[in-house]
Amino acid sequence: MSDTNDLTKQDAVILRNGTAEAIKGPEQTFTGTVRIDRIFNPPAPARAGFAIVNFEPGARTNWHTHPAGQTLVVTQGVGWHKCEGGEKTEIRAGDTVWCNCGKRHWHGATDTTYMQHIAITEAIDGTPVTWMEAVSDEEYLSGPVKKD
């Protein structure tokens, strides 16, 4: 693999399949079993990075916001997404979700199914996300679920 220590001095960087750093989703920002494959976070002036996030049944993010928004591309399984004040919505493989700038939300697997998504997030002043409190089990399981 190319040396990614100083990406600003390279014409192009090829990241080979299977070389992404995988981490356990931190308990401070996720509930349940979550694996994050950090694919790429380029140096400034680039602002967009992306990761593949795997949620086991019942796993989800804490409430959070993104100063420049976030795009989620669901690649496997079925999950839920909820913006504050809105409906909990089912998201499925093949769906793309735009989380608007600064809008408080959470997302993750359903209570019975696995879900994987690609998260594409831009940073403003080096900050891609502001994490908040956990989504309680009661809040997570409350319905109904919008499916269209």
Q: Where are the domains of the chain?
A: 23-138
Model pLDDT for residues 66-104, shown as the tens digit of each residue:
999 999 999 999 999 999 999 999 999 999 999 998 899
Q: Could you tell me if 106 and 62 are in contact, meaning their C-beta atoms sit under 8 angstroms apart?
A: yes
Taking only Cα atoms into account, the Rg of the chain, rounded to an integer number of angstroms, comes to: 16
Residue 12 vs residues 7, 48, 76, 112: alpha-carbon distances, Å:
8, 16, 29, 41
What is the 8-class DSSP label of residue 112?
S
CATH 2.60.120.10 fits domain 23-138: yes
**Can you tell me the distance from the alpha carbon of 94 to that of 77, in angstroms, rounded to the nearest whole number?**
9
Model pLDDT for residues 104-139, shown as the tens digit of each residue:
999 999 999 999 999 999 999 889 999 999 999 999
**Can you tell me the distance from the alpha carbon of 111 to that of 40, in angstroms, rounded to the nearest whole number?**
29
pTM over 0.85, yes/no: yes
